[in-house]
């Protein structure tokens, strides 16, 4: 007897032939299809500009300013059997659907949390706005407990700024699930979180989706996260879905060249790198006993580090471990309370001399912290030359153009503004600004955290070229351990303001000595989860 095939579940939400164009008539989505069943997580992946966010936000019946729906449907079954097209619902009806039947978790929890409202009333607001008939406070306590947060009065009375980034994101997830929606859209919900917090947030999402039977649409550029979280994946390129299928099939046997290119660009702890480690010489930068306190709380406590010319030291740790405080202290952006810092054997003064400011430069996580949106790229690059060197105008212009070429941006970028560049182009311009004074030390603070994998790979390659050709020493501050073999020679692990482990990349990754390091490695997402 032929076995009866398992019936395919009816999708909770199904997008068919979706077309979206700009208000000027340029089409950005070209007939996109996707569907999500109850209890399933579909990952929409692709590079920046591929259209994945536009395609996913259609599940909310929403299109960003400057975009208009030109074709296709988004059919919603949910609590009804009418299979309504969300894109044709009246505005008043759609407001009743959002938050109640279809909810949203943004990338930045600050976008979903009101800074002047306490946590309890914020989560309760979703229930009261949609006429929840049960005990509102009891439901708020229940959903906070579901996401691993306290449900007591003390926590409900806290403000968003009194929570860590991971706690804020879990409150956002709680608010999205509090009305037990049929569909939830998660927009890069773990970007910027450290690996242990990310793991906790993703476990929370997986458990809630499975338990409640919610259909989840997860927008992401992190294929390693997809490997461990999603059931199916749809790969988007230039406004089209080029490949779709079960995660294991797509990630282990991709059919489309674009999918293969994305997978090849993903850094992975279990994949060896062909890069030769730098042989360390005499230290360029030396730190002894670095300390910093905020009130009674120690943020750094006796940190010792050394950096040699051309060497890259990766500084790892969870949010709140003191990574950025140390990085800014080394760069002179804040004053340390204790410790000795020296550059080429000479003490770094407070305040620093122009020569010392030129010698240690900082690249921020957001390139907008380095680039003035009202200045052209060339003008932003010229600022440190004008203040920190005695070069004349012609020499400054030549140096700016040369530096743009060094970071693989041609001369046309000199006259463009940051807002007209892609994320990767902006980050290259920010790196060029830091390198324009020919520093001895470059401090990179989470410079790849918000970039898609292919752009991230190009930035990593650029930084390797800078070290090789210019001999620049580099401190690479990150929570992304998977990049270690791609960028670093040595690793220093920071926990609660103290270095708990240091060693070469191979020593730390293959034979970690400290429990904290082993915990970080255990929680690092890997492509092997799909195999």
Q: Cα dihedral angle (517, 518, 520, 525), rounded to 10 degrees?
A: 140
- Output the pLDDT for position 476: 95
**Residue 497: C-alpha distances to residues 293, 345, 517 (Å):** 10, 25, 14
DSSP letter string, 411-456: GGGGG--GGGS-HHHHHHHHHHHHHTT--SEEEEESTTTTS-HHHH
- Are β-strands 338-343 and 283-294 bridged in parallel, bridged antiparallel, or unpaired? antiparallel
For the CA atoms of the chain, what is the radius of gyration?
25
Residues whose CB falls within 8 Å of the CB of residue 5, separated by 6 or more in sequence, listed in order = none
The span from the CA of 504 to the CA of 311, in Å, is 11
The token pair that represents 493 in the structure block: 């692990």
Indicate if 283-530 has the same CATH topology as 9-101+213-266. yes
The span from the CA of 44 to the CA of 440, in Å, is 41
Task: Count CB atoms within 10 A of the CB of residue 408.
Answer: 14
Domain extent listing, the chain: 9-101+213-266, 283-530
The structure's pTM equals 0.82
The span from the CA of 306 to the CA of 287, in Å, is 6
For residue 162, the number of C-alpha atoms closer than 13 Å in the C-beta half-sphere is: 10
| φ/ψ bin of 426: left (φ > 0), alpha (ψ from -120 to 50), beta (otherwise) | alpha
**Strands laid side by side in the 67-76 sheet:** 27-36, 13-22, 67-76, 84-85
DSSP letter string, 166-214: HHHHHHHHHHHHTT--SEEEEESTTTT--HHHHHHHHHHHHHHHHHHT-
- Output the pLDDT for position 295: 84
**Strands laid side by side in the 41-45 sheet:** 102-105, 183-187, 215-220, 41-45, 232-237, 240-246
Question: What is the fold of 283-530?
Answer: Rossmann fold (3.40.50)
Q: Which residues of 233-270 are buried (b: 16+ CB within 10 A; e: fewer)?
A: bbbbbebbbbbbbebeebbeebeeebbeebbebbbbbe
Place of tokens 């390091």: 517
- 3-state per-residue secondary structure call for 287-308: EEEEEEEECCEEEEEEEEEEEE
- 177 and 137 in contact (C-beta within 8 Å)? no
Three-state secondary-structure class, residue 531: coil
Length of the chain: 531
- 373 and 416 in contact (C-beta within 8 Å)? no
- 325 and 269 in contact (C-beta within 8 Å)? no
DSSP letter string, 17-81: EEEEEETTS-EEEEEEEEEE-TT-EEEEE--TTSSHHHHHHGGGT---TTEEEEEEEEEE-TT-S
Place of tokens 């979206």: 20
- Output the pLDDT for position 81: 42
Segments of the chain with pLDDT less than 50: 1-2, 4-6, 80-82, 531
- 441 and 474 in contact (C-beta within 8 Å)? yes
The token pair that represents 316 in the structure block: 């790892």
The span from the CA of 45 to the CA of 36, in Å, is 15
235: which strand partners? 45, 243
Most distant CA atoms of the chain, gap in Å: 88
The span from the CA of 91 to the CA of 194, in Å, is 38
Burial of 24 (0-12, 13-18, 19+ CB in 10 A): exposed
**Residue 137: C-alpha distances to residues 80, 129, 134, 142, 212 (Å):** 27, 14, 9, 9, 20
Burial of 130 (0-12, 13-18, 19+ CB in 10 A): middle
- 364 and 370 in contact (C-beta within 8 Å)? yes
Task: Count CB atoms within 10 A of the CB of residue 457.
Answer: 21
The span from the CA of 420 to the CA of 107, in Å, is 22
Helices 453-470 and 257-264, axial angle in degrees (round to 10): 50
Judge: domain 9-101+213-266, CATH 3.40.50.300: yes
The span from the CA of 242 to the CA of 235, in Å, is 6
**Residue 161 CA to its chain's centroid (Å):** 20
């Amino acid at each position: 007897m032929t076995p009866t095939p398992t019936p395919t579940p009816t999708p909770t939400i199904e997008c068919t032939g979706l077309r979206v164009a700009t208000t000027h008539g340029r089409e950005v989505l070209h007939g996109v299809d996707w569907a999500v069943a109850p209890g399933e997580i579909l990952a929409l992946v692709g590079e920046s500009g591929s259209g994945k966010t536009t395609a996913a936000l259609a599940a909310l019946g929403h299109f960003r300013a400057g975009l208009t729906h030109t074709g296709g449907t988004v059919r919603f079954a949910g609590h009804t059997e009418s299979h309504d097209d969300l894109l044709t619902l009246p505005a008043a009806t759609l407001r009743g659907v959002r938050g109640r039947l279809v909810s949203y978790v943004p990338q930045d929890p600050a976008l979903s949390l009101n800074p002047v409202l306490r946590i309890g009333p914020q989560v309760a607001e979703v229930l009261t706005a949609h006429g929840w008939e049960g005990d509102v406070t009891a439901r708020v306590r229940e959903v906070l407990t579901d996401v691993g947060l306290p449900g007591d009065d003390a926590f409900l009375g806290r403000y968003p700024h009194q929570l860590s980034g991971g706690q804020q994101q879990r409150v956002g997830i709680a608010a999205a699930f509090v009305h037990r929606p049929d569909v939830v859209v998660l927009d890069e919900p773990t970007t910027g979180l450290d690996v242990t917090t990310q793991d906790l947030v993703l476990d929370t999402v997986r458990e809630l989706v499975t338990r409640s039977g919610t259909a989840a649409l997860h927008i992401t550029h992190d294929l390693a996260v997809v490997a461990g979280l999603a059931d199916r994946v749809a790969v988007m390129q230039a406004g089209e879905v080029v490949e779709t299928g079960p995660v294991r099939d797509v990630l282990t046997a991709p059919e489309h060249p674009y999918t293969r290119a994305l997978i090849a660009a993903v850094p992975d702890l279990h994949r060896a790198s062909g890069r030769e480690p730098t042989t360390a010489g005499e230290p360029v930068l030396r730190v002894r006993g670095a300390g910093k306190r905020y009130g009674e709380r120690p943020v750094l406590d006796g940190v010792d580090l050394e950096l040699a010319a051309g060497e890259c030291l990766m500084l790892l740790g969870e949010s709140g471990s003191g990574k950025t405080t140390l990085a800014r202290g080394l760069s002179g952006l804040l004053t340390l309370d204790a410790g000795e810092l020296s550059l080429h054997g000479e003490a770094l003064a407070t305040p620093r001399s122009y020569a010392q400011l030129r010698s240690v430069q900082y690249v921020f996580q957001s390139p907008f912290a380095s680039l003035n949106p009202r200045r052209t790229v060339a003008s932003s690059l010229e600022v440190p030359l004008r203040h920190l060197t005695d070069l004349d105008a012609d020499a400054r212009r030549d140096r700016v153009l040369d530096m743009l070429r060094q970071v693989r941006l041609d001369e046309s970028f000199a006259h463009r503004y940051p807002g007209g560049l892609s994320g990767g182009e902006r980050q290259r311009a920010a790196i060029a600004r830091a390198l324009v004074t020919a520093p001895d030390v470059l401090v990179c603070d989470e410079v790849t955290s918000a970039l898609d994998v292919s752009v991230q790979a190009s930035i990593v390659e650029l930084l390797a070229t800078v070290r090789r050709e210019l001999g620049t020493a580099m401190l690479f501050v990150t929570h992304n351990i998977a990049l270690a073999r791609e960028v670093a020679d040595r690793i220093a692990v920071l926990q609660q303001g103290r270095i708990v482990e240091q060693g070469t990349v191979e020593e730390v990754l293959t034979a970690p000595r400290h429990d904290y390091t082993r915990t970080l490695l255990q929680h690092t997402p890997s492509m092997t989860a799909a195999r």
